[in-house]
């Protein structure tokens, strides 16, 4: 991070001519909360840079539309492109389009499938997804042990959209954690998708409650679903002190839920940091500077203990 | 359309010698069959330990032999889309279609919630305040409700006017509005979600309140569609628009009214939805328009207009609720749920079509 900042700073000093860099940005979805924080991080950071203009497009969760947007950026002669991929399996075509036109390309937040073969002039800025689900699941495991449930605990997994790599990875992280000797007392009763949505999660958890099986933990792939689960359990009269609920994202609503003692832990992914990091990388590449091909912005576990550090971050 | 004249205007009358029972009875039978299918799966599937979906003989959990928790969620999870489906039903009966209701839910939720927000959360300023700083908070709950209904009426009157006066197809007019409303939803706060409503606002959709609203509105719409001039004119226009015009119905004005009411119901659904979830997000209501249409169609509302009823749509909504809860009950893998759902929707309509044709032949 620091290196790229310095690199961008030096590059900015050296560019004495008032050549403004235009960076085309295509975001998977404008109405996704996390991606909105990231997008605002980009635009706010770009505003502080005197000679960088961002053009931001909404891919509306449509792979084909996103590739069209990239080709449109190339046709209109942008200096660099930032892609928040709709589908991480569809990035090869994007890489080729940009590489053959000689336009630098930066993937942000979602890891492209062709990460290992990215050509010169392309980079990936994100957090290491494996950290997030693992941090949350392991915290849940420790909380359950602390509650004296090491003899056996039952739980559910609330999954995000099944087509999304983060959902798949975070679910796998839970499986990996409960595969460890220390945490293998956790039994998963059922796992279903609630499509990242609070409302769907609330309905789903209410359905689970109606089956009458007792449970001790809910692993949610994101905070919105964790809050939906909390709403459902509160409505059913379940004491939130008895059930461990963990999410990922550290949204404002989730931080309030932690303060209330409803949510036990979430994981902070520095959305704004990813946004500004991707702008830095794109500008540096456009100016011919060297950029690390992978720039990692770390995840952090958020619990009641360190809550105050995060209240203004996302 | 020889088919339609047999039903008479309104689809409420039918030829007793040829149709054994009203269409709603078919939907009810389908509902019962689906419940029985899930009960059977509960008995057959080895990992289910012979559990029952709707019955619960463990009297420790509640006093009845019914699994009240599951019966409640079956209705609760469809009541918000059900409110939209009530409005969509009268649109389809009038011979139109409304694709804009889902995005309208998103837009209305954002706008309404920005008037329903509370100023302080745990003594701190609301962290997700819309238009932070100089915005009036803690407004009386009637204000967001009125704003929401006014917004719905506004969008609906545009839909209706476009369809009635420029004569563009309802599909196109409401498709355009679909995109406009998604845009409004994102533009209102630049995509930021709005959370933490006032306690009065939160009470609108808490607990089983969505079901209460759904039931109340269903009864009102049922009475309106069956016993009022408004309802009879809606069926008349859907059955034969030219005949309706010749017989002196102000078709244009009536159509505007139909779309206005549909959009106001969708906006009200947005109020209940955002209250239930204590948040409004631009992406809310995704696919709601399609689910609402599917509920109506499963309930026997004919997409060619003039036939269908509120009772049918309510039953159609119940079919949806039973299927959704049934999937979780039998722990069907998430991957198969959409496929199964699609197959059931198609199957239900094919069956209904088949019965009707046999009945009228």
Q: Which residue has the higher pLDDT, B36 or B333?
A: B36
- The reply to whether residue A33 touches residue B193, judged by beta carbons under 8 angstroms, is yes
**Model confidence at A233: pLDDT above 50:** yes
**C-alpha to C-alpha distance for B263 and B74, rounded to whole angstroms:** 25
Partner-chain residue, chosen from A159, A231, A311, that has the shortest CB–CB distance to B277: A231
> B165-196 burial string, b = 16+ CB within 10 Å, else e?
eeeeebeebbebbbebbbebbbebbebbbbbb
List the one residue out of B302, B319, B310, B313 whose CA is nearest residue B353: B302
Whole-angstrom distance, CA of residue A280 vs CA of residue A42: 9
Confidence of residue B5 (pLDDT cuts 50, 70, 90): very low
* Closest listed residue to residue B107, CA positions, set B172, B161, B151: B151
Reported CATH class of domain A129-268: alpha beta
What pTM does this model have? 0.79
Closest-approach residue (CA) in chain A for B107: A31
pLDDT digits (tens, 9 = 90+) for A136-192: 999 999 999 999 999 999 999 999 988 777 889 999 999 999 999 999 999 999 999
Query: Residue B196: its chain A contacts at CB < 8 A?
Result: 253, 256
| Distance (Å) from the alpha carbon of A30 to chain B's nearest alpha carbon | 6
Q: Do domains A4-127+270-295 and A129-268 have the same CATH topology?
A: yes
Cα–Cα distance for residue pair B149/B270, rounded to 1 Å: 10
Residue A14: per-residue pLDDT: 46
Chain B residue nearest residue A227, CA to CA: B277
Query: Which of B61, B113, B192, B279 best probes binding to A when mutated, by most A CB atoms within 10 angstroms?
Result: B279
Q: Which two tokens stand for residue B327?
A: 């999937």
CB A79 within 8 A of CB A90: no
- At a CB cut-off of 8 Å and minimum separation 6, what does B57 contact? B65
Domains of chain A, residue spans: 4-127+270-295, 129-268
- Write out the two tokens for A41: 């991080």
How far apart, in whole angstroms, are the C-alpha atoms of residue A133 and residue A127? Answer: 12
Of B191, B284, B328, the CB nearest to A36: B191
Mean of pLDDT values over B168-186: 95
C-alpha radius of gyration, chain A, whole number: 21
As a whole number, mean pLDDT of residues A82-89 equals 88
Q: Which residues pair with A106 in a beta bridge?
A: A82, A123
Q: What is the pLDDT of residue B113?
A: 93
Q: Does the beta carbon of B185 lie under 8 angstroms from any beta carbon of chain A? A: yes
- The reported pLDDT for the residue numbered B6 is 45
The yes-or-no verdict on residue B235 having pLDDT over 70 is yes
B124 vs B79, higher pLDDT:
B79
pLDDT of A224 strictly over 80: yes
> Beta A105-108 vs A122-126: how paired, if at all?
parallel
Least confident of A119-128, B116-125, B254-263: B116-125
Tokens of B285: 């209501």
**Residues B285 and B103 sit within 8 Å (Cβ to Cβ):** yes
Instruction: Assess whether pLDDT exceeds 70 at residue B60.
Output: no
A193–B72 CB contact, under 8 Å: no
Q: Which residue has the higher pLDDT, B52 or A245?
A: A245
What are A31's two structure tokens?
A: 């109405």
CB contact, 8 Å: A31 with chain B? yes
H runs (alpha helix) in chain B: 2-7, 23-44, 68-93, 101-116, 142-165, 170-188, 199-203, 209-227, 229-239, 241-246, 251-277, 288-298, 310-329, 334-360
For the segment A14-42, the average pLDDT, to the nearest whole number, is 80
The answer to whether the Cβ–Cβ distance between B192 and A207 falls below 8 Å is no
pLDDT of residue B1: 40
The mean pLDDT of chain A is 89
Contact A174, A155 (CB under 8 A): no
CATH tag, A4-127+270-295: 3.40.50.2300
Per-range mean pLDDT, top range of A55-69, B10-24, B36-50, B238-252: B238-252
- Decide: B281 and A33 in contact? Cβ < 8 Å: yes
The four Cα atoms A86, A87, A88, A92 give a dihedral, to 10 degrees, of -100
Question: Which chain B residues are within 8 Å of A193, Cβ to Cβ?
Answer: 334
Give the Cβ contact number of residue B61 at 10 Å: 13
Q: What is d(CA A245, CA A233) in angstroms, rounded to the nearest whole number? A: 11
**Is pLDDT at A18 greater than 60 in this prediction?**
no
Q: Residues A103, A1, A269, A135: what is their CA dihedral angle, to the nearest 10 degrees?
A: 120
> Among B144, B142, B115, B162, which Cα is nearest to B260's?
B162
Size of interface A-B (CB pairs under 8 A): 105
Please judge whether A203 and B76 are an interchain contact, meaning their C-beta atoms are less than 8 angstroms apart. Answer: yes
In this prediction, residues B344-361 reach a mean pLDDT of 72
**pLDDT tier for residue B8 given thresholds of 50, 70 and 90:** very low
- Nearest Cα residue in chain A from B51: A211
Residue A111 pLDDT greater than 90, yes or no: no
Token pair in block for residue B81:
């889309």
In this predicted structure, the answer to whether residue A17 has a pLDDT above a threshold of 70 is no
Q: Does A43 touch chain B (CB under 8 A)?
A: no
Q: How large is the angle between the packed helices B209-227 and B68-93, nearest 10 degrees?
A: 30
Give the span between the Cα atoms of A186 and A175, in whole angstroms.
Answer: 10
Task: Evaluate whether B241 touches B233 at the Cβ level (below 8 Å).
Answer: no
A51 φ/ψ angles, rounded to the nearest 5 degrees:
-120, 40
State yes or no: pLDDT of B13 exceeds 60: no
Q: Which residue has the tokens 């409505």?
A: A235
Beta-bridge partner residues of A107? A83, A124
């Amino acid at each position: 991070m620091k290196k790229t900042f310095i690199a961008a700073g030096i590059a900015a000093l050296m560019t004495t001519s008032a050549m403004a860099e235009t960076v085309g940005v295509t975001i998977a979805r404008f109405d996704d909360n996390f991606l909105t924080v990231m997008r605002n991080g980009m635009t706010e950071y770009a505003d502080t840079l005197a000679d960088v203009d961002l053009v931001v497009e909404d891919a509306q969760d449509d792979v084909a539309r996103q590739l069209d947007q990239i080709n449109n950026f190339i046709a209109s002669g942008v200096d660099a492109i930032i892609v928040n991929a709709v589908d991480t399996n569809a990035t090869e075509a994007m890489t080729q389009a940009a590489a053959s036109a000689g336009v630098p390309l930066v993937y942000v937040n979602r890891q492209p499938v062709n990460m290992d073969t990215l050509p010169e002039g392309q980079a990936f800025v994100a957090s290491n997804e494996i950290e997030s689900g693992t941090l949350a699941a392991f915290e849940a495991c420790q909380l359950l042990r602390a509650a004296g449930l090491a003899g056996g605990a039952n739980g559910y997994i609330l999954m995000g959209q099944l087509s999304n790599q983060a959902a798949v990875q975070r679910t796998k992280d839970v499986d990996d954690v409960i595969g460890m000797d220390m945490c293998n007392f956790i039994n998963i009763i059922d796992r279903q998708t609630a499509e990242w949505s609070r409302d769907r999660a609330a309905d789903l958890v209410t359905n689970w409650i109606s089956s009458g099986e007792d449970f001790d933990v809910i692993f949610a792939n994101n905070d919105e679903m964790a809050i939906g689960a909390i709403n459902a359990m509160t409505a059913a009269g379940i004491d939130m002190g008895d059930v461990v609920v963990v999410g990922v994202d550290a949204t404002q609503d989730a931080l309030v839920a932690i303060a209330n003692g409803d949510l036990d832990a979430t994981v902070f992914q520095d959305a704004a940091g990813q946004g500004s990091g991707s702008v830095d990388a794109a500008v540096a590449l456009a100016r011919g500077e060297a950029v690390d091909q992978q720039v990692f912005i770390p995840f952090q576990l958020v619990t009641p203990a360190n809550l105050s550090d995060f209240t203004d971050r996302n | 359309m020889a088919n339609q004249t047999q039903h008479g205007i309104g689809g409420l009358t039918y030829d007793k010698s040829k149709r054994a029972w009203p269409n709603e009875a078919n939907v009810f039978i389908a509902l019962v069959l689906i419940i029985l299918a899930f009960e059977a799966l509960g008995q057959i599937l080895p990992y289910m330990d012979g559990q029952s979906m709707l019955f619960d003989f463990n009297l420790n959990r509640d006093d009845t032999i019914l699994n009240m928790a599951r019966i409640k969620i079956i209705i609760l999870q469809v009541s918000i889309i059900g409110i939209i489906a009530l409005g969509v039903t009268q649109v389809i009966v009038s011979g139109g279609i409304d694709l804009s209701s889902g995005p309208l839910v998103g837009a209305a939720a954002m706008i309404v919630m920005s008037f329903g927000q509370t100023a302080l959360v745990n003594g701190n300023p609301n962290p997700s305040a819309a238009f932070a700083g100089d915005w009036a908070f803690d407004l009386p709950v009637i204000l967001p409700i009125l704003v929401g209904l006014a917004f719905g009426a506004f969008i609906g009157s545009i839909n209706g006017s476009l369809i009635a006066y420029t004569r563009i197809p309802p599909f196109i007019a409401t498709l355009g509005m679909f995109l406009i409303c998604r845009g409004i939803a994102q533009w209102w706060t630049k995509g930021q979600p709005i959370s933490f409503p006032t306690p009065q606002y939160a009470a609108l959709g808490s607990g089983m309140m969505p079901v209460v609203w759904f039931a109340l509105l269903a009864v009102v719409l049922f009475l309106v569609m069956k016993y009022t001039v408004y309802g009879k004119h809606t069926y008349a226009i859907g059955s034969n628009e030219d005949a309706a015009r010749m017989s002196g119905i102000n078709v244009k004005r009536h159509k505007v009214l139909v779309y206005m009411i549909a959009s106001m119901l969708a906006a009200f659904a947005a109020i209940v939805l955002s209250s239930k979830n204590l948040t409004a997000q631009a992406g809310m209501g995704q696919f709601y328009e399609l689910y609402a249409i599917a509920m109506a169609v499963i309930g026997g509302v004919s997409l060619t207009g003039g036939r269908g009823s509120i009772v049918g749509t309510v039953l159609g909504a119940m079919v949806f609720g039973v299927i959704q809860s049934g999937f979780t009950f039998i722990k069907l893998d998430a991957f198969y749920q959409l496929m199964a759902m699609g197959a059931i929707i198609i199957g239900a309509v094919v069956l209904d079509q088949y019965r009707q044709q046999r009945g009228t032949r």
